[in-house]
């Protein structure tokens, strides 16, 4: 085969590849990886649906949003199902939103996650996602009870686990969506009755309409910066 023919074939191959990319729209696939809050995120008023609607209203069409949440999941559940539920989808970005059950289940069923194991599994999860070519965004768990004065029973542990995530994000130089801080600040400003639910959640944990809207906006502020 002469050199001119080789060059022609390479040129035609490049055109085919470019056409394929054009057909796929060049969209960034964003997988939201988490527990029941993320499982509910794909429902009509869930935060993933809210975000998709926000993007549509703003005529932003280059993102494909995918939910990968399962109720009751903790960090090691995410680690165990990561290959099948996330990596197999070839995501460009993975938003990890976990931690509530790691704290909450210590009280409700005695099956939470110790802080040292939480960090080890989380770091291993991030490393594996990055090795698969995904950009990772991490989120602090928002709330287990909405009282605004740190008097919710599990505030201490939730703050501790949130600090673990903040430290990992800083150490690994990855983006952080600090839902814990945002929710806490909102409660101080808007929960004058100091109620334990009904402001941003329906039950102290799972998001209501306002909570879903807030999470969608906060996540988008970070997602749009990831190249």
CA atoms within 13 A on the CB side of 124: 15
Domains and CATH numbers, the chain: 25-223 (3.40.50.1110)
151-161 average pLDDT score: 96
- What b/e sequence results for 112-148 when a residue is b if at least 16 CB atoms lie within 10 Å of its CB, and e otherwise? bbeeeebbebbeebbebbeeeebbbbbbbbbbbbbbb
pLDDT digits (tens, 9 = 90+) for 38-50: 999 999 999 999 9
- Do the beta carbons of residue 121 and residue 101 sit within 8 Å? no
72 vs 216: CA distance, rounded Å: 21
In eight-state DSSP terms, residue 43 is: S
Q: What's the whole-model pTM score?
A: 0.88
More confident residue, 10 or 147: 147
Q: Euclidean distance between the first and final Cα of the chain, in Å? A: 41
Confidence of residue 203 (pLDDT cuts 50, 70, 90): very high
pLDDT digits (tens, 9 = 90+) for 1-12: 454 544 434 444
181-204 average pLDDT score: 98
More confident residue, 227 or 120: 120
- Do the beta carbons of residue 196 and residue 154 sit within 8 Å? no
């Amino acid at each position: 085969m002469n050199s001119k023919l080789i060059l022609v074939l390479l040129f035609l191959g490049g055109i085919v590849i470019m056409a394929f990319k054009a057909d796929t729209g060049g969209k960034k696939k964003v997988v939201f990886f988490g527990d029941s809050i993320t499982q509910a995120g794909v429902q009509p008023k869930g935060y993933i649906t809210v975000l998709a609607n926000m993007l549509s209203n703003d005529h932003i069409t280059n993102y494909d949003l995918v939910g990968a949440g399962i109720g009751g999941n903790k960090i090691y559940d995410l680690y165990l199902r990561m290959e099948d539920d996330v990596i197999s989808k070839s995501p460009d970005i993975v938003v990890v939103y976990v931690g509530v059950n790691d704290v909450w289940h210590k009280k409700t069923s005695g099956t939470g996650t110790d802080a040292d194991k939480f960090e080890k599994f989380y770091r291993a999860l991030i490393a594996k996602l990055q090795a698969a070519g995904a950009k990772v965004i991490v989120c602090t768990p928002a709330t287990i009870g909405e009282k605004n004065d740190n008097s919710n029973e599990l505030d201490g542990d939730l703050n501790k686990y949130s600090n673990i995530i903040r430290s990992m994000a800083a150490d690994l130089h990855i983006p952080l969506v600090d839902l814990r801080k945002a929710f806490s600040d909102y409660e101080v400003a808007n929960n004058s009755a100091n109620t334990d639910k009904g402001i941003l959640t329906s039950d102290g944990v799972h998001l209501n309409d306002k909570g879903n809207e807030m999470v969608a906006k906060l996540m988008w502020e970070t997602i749009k910066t990831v190249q």
